[in-house]
Every structure is written in C-alpha cells, then in structure tokens.
Amino acid sequence: MSPTDYQPLELSAKPVFDRHLHQGPPCISELTFSNLFMWRHHYQPLWREHGGCLLVIVSPEGGPAFGLPPAGGGDLLAACEALCRDLAEMGAAPVLNRVGERLALALDEGERFGTELDLANSDYVYLAEELADLPGRRFHRKKNHFNKFVKTHEFEYRPLEAELIAQVLDMQEKWCQIRECAADPGLASEDRAIYEALTHYDSLDYSGGVIIIEDKVAAFSLGEPLNPDTAVVHIEKANPEYDGIYAAINKLFVQNAWAHMKYINREQDLGLSGLRKAKESYQPDHMVNKYVVTPNFL
C-alpha cells in the first residue's frame, strides 16, 4: 500500500522520532513515539522524513488510512501538502486527522486546505497542581472519594519499575477477564497496546505508577512527557472492587510522577458521553482542539 520510501514503525526508529519531536514538541496526545509504538498493531503506522519534517500515515483496523500532523523543524505547511499527495498516491483519501489548532489555523488561512473541528478527539488538559491537590469546592467530591479510599484500605503507592511489570500484566489480564476484552475489538486492541507498552517499558519514555494492596497491583497508570510543560496520561486501570481507587491512582500518579509539570493531558472522550462526563468532572483547564484537514488541490 505504501510508496517505497515509507517504512513500518520499529523500535529502531525512536531516535529519528525523538529528534523531530524535540524540534517541534507536540501538543496532541497521539504524537509521541511511545504512543505510536504501543498502538502499532492497531494503527499500523508508516513513516518517512520530508523537508526536515516527520510524516506519519496510520491505517487503523476497520477504518480508512489518514495522516497525522507532520512534526519537526521544517516547513509544516509544505509537509502537509506532501503527506496529502502521498495518501492520494496510495489510493487513500487525502485526509489529515488530529491536527492541532495552531497548524490547522495556519492551513486554513489560504485556499489550499479546508478544516473542521473534531471535538470527539480533542484532548482534555488539566493543571497538574489541581489534580495532585484536589483543592476547594470544585474538587470536593473527588477529595471525598480519595479520602474514603485512604481510610478504608491499607495500600502502597510505588513508581512502576521492572520488577513490577509481571504483576501489572497479571492485573491487566484479570481486568480484561472482568470486562470481556476478547468480545470487544476496542478493548482487545487496548489490551495488546498495554502489553506492548509494558514489555518494552525500559526502551520507551514511559513513567508509571502502581497502587499495591495485599501484595498485589490493584491499579496502574502510564504516562510520558508530551512537551516541556505537559505530561500525557495514556493508560489508567484499576480494580473496581476497591471503592475510590480510580481517584487515588489519578491523584497519586500526578503527585508523585508529574509534580514538575504545569499541565496533564488526559486525552480525548471519543464522543462517548460517559467518558466526557468523567473527564469534565476533573475540571479541565483547557482543551487542545484538533481538526480534520482536507486539501482543496487534489
């Protein structure tokens, strides 16, 4: 499907991605090497370099191929044109998804591209200090959930280290049994992505945290730096038998791993009302709006 100069994503490409993403730090949650790598079996990313920029095309299972916003220190507008032409040459619709607002507005200034806001995939961003402290009346309910958990359970919070990986994988397997991941393609893909992240943990840029109860991992979270002032939380799982444990892992992970960051990106709601309600309940500071971009010249 791909032109000869595109290649599948392998771990060996990490230095190339890191260089481009350092030159043009992303604001959208998808655009990190670790995230693309853990989801590579679902999204099947292909990449190449062009004019000082990184071009990435993904082909999600059950969906059409599309381009992600180019990254790097080169001419991003020219890179968008090249990426759209590449998609057309592949026989795919020349569409760029998850494009951040700054780039989308720049593309929209001329007549060569059209843009459309994609609220379902826009990211919720929070003040790290607020997630760590849960201050004031706005967080009263969350603070109560956390305090109840602390009073009810004897637990230990620990950074995720190599010796805990097997326990986290065991907890994820049990979580999937409860949620019947095998019968849900979305959960099955997420389960594979979590396995990839954990089994390559030392080679990727993740930081993780776990809550241990009775010598077993009862909750875990995975995140990474997104840009100089923002961390992104990609995965958060907990045993629902422990009331308040989601509030606990959310707070403790930020408090222990990301206190030096100003913002925490907790990704999108996918247009799901339950997920939207959960994300809004943590009082986002702002949204990272994303756009669908289509060319007018093809």
Are 136 and 260 part of one and the same domain?
yes
Coil/strand/helix, residue 58: strand
Alpha helices in 134-180 (DSSP H): 140-152, 165-179
Are 176 and 136 part of one and the same domain?
yes
pLDDT for the residue 2: 46
pLDDT digits (tens, 9 = 90+) for 93-125: 999 999 999 999 999 998 899 999 999 999 999
- Do residues 171 and 198 touch, judged by C-beta distance below 8 A? no
The verdict on residue 222 lying in a domain is: yes
| pTM metric for this prediction | 0.95
Are 203 and 114 part of one and the same domain?
no
pLDDT for the residue 79: 97
Are 84 and 43 part of one and the same domain?
yes
Are 155 and 251 part of one and the same domain?
yes
Are 115 and 130 part of one and the same domain?
no
> pLDDT-derived band of residue 4, with 50, 70 and 90 as boundaries?
low
How many domains does one find in the chain?
2
Are 91 and 198 part of one and the same domain?
no
- Do residues 207 and 160 touch, judged by C-beta distance below 8 A? yes
pLDDT digits (tens, 9 = 90+) for 145-168: 999 999 999 999 999 999 999 999
Tokens of 14: 């990490």
Share of the chain above pLDDT 90, in %: 96
Quick one: average pLDDT of 58-66? 95
Tokens of 100: 């951040």
> pLDDT-derived band of residue 1, with 50, 70 and 90 as boundaries?
very low
Quick one: average pLDDT of 263-269? 98
> pLDDT-derived band of residue 47, with 50, 70 and 90 as boundaries?
very high
CB proximity list for 200: less than 8 A, separation 6 or greater: 11, 37, 38
Are 147 and 214 part of one and the same domain?
yes
- Of 154, 147, 218, 205, the C-alpha closest to 31 is 205
The yes-or-no verdict on residue 228 having pLDDT over 50 is: yes
Coil/strand/helix, residue 31: coil
Coil/strand/helix, residue 6: coil
Sign of CA dihedral 177, 183, 186, 191: positive
- Of 54, 41, 63, 67, the C-alpha closest to 14 is 54
The verdict on residue 278 lying in a domain is: no
The verdict on residue 237 lying in a domain is: yes
The verdict on residue 39 lying in a domain is: yes
Domain that holds residue 75: 7-122+290-295
Are 171 and 257 part of one and the same domain?
yes
The verdict on residue 281 lying in a domain is: no
Sign of CA dihedral 177, 180, 182, 188: negative
The yes-or-no verdict on residue 218 having pLDDT over 70 is: yes
The yes-or-no verdict on residue 196 having pLDDT over 80 is: yes
Q: What is the CATH number of the domain that holds 134?
A: 3.40.630.30
d(CA 67, CA 47): 10
Mean of per-residue pLDDT scores for the chain: 96
DSSP state of 117: E
Q: What is the largest CA-CA distance in the chain?
A: 62
- Do residues 230 and 27 touch, judged by C-beta distance below 8 A? yes
